[in-house]
Amino acid sequence: MSFRPADFRHAVLGAAVALTFALSAGAVMAQNAKPAAASSAAPAAAGSAAAPAAAAPAEAATAAVKPGDATAGQGKAAVCGACHGIDGNSADPQYPKLAGQHESYIARQLTNFKAAKRQNPIMLGMASPLSEQDMHDIGAYFATKVSRPGVADEALVEHGQKLYREGDVERGIPACMACHLTDGRGNPGAIYPQLAGQHAQYVEATLKSWHDGTVWGDDAHAQIMPAIAKKLDAKDITALASYIEGLHSADSGDTATAAP
């Protein structure tokens, strides 16, 4: 078989055309592949960006709770007045005085009532519809009020005062004033409540309840008073409750006022 120069030129030309076509097709395929890769990578980028967005509502909810507003709390606390008094000074000694109580303490107790950690059917119903902000607003309102002083039974002052100020080392009972301060104003930072002027009947009932095993929560803070109350006998509880009712602030003499 003979091979002519013309045939050789045609073969070379055909090979060049074929090579050019192949390179062009490869370039087109590569261009088409890039958007596909980009599109497949896009969801991953979107997914990683969505994580902070998903967390945003929770962060917003936390950030939304501000220090209590006493003005807003006044309206929200109106229903509380039926038992605790409009100004937080309850007329019925079975209900605690809230006047002058710390915002942090009131908000904590309302939270416990709502979660049923502190058992009280009436307060469960009252606390259930409240938001965390509502609780702080109500607490701020009562914190602006002044607790009216009470009186202590003269016969119980000495015993009550000794326990409150010194405790009883032999029985492992700490002094009440270590947490609630000498004047009974408490410590809002540690969420230790104000006690000064509180109704003796309410204090006595509460201490007895703790003595018998009641707790107001499941955290370490909630275990403090039940552990102490178990070491108190009936006479201790009665004397302490009376002394606390007559306990006044420093500008009122810083002493328990005995009944005439």
User: What is the model's pTM?
Assistant: 0.74
How many whole angstroms from its chain centre is CA 28?
62
Confidence of residue 250 (pLDDT cuts 50, 70, 90): low
Residue 236 is given by DSSP the state H
User: What is the tens place of the pLDDT at every residue in 185-210?
Assistant: 999 999 999 999 999 999 999 999 99
pLDDT of residue 208: 98
Letter for the amino acid at 70? A
Q: Other C-beta atoms within 10 Å of 185: how many?
A: 19
- CA torsion sign for 165, 249, 257, 210 is negative
User: What is the tens place of the pLDDT at every residue in 53-78?
Assistant: 544 554 555 567 899 999 999 999 99
Euclidean distance between CA atoms 55 and 58, whole angstroms: 6
Lowest mean pLDDT, pick from 4-13, 67-76, 91-100:
4-13
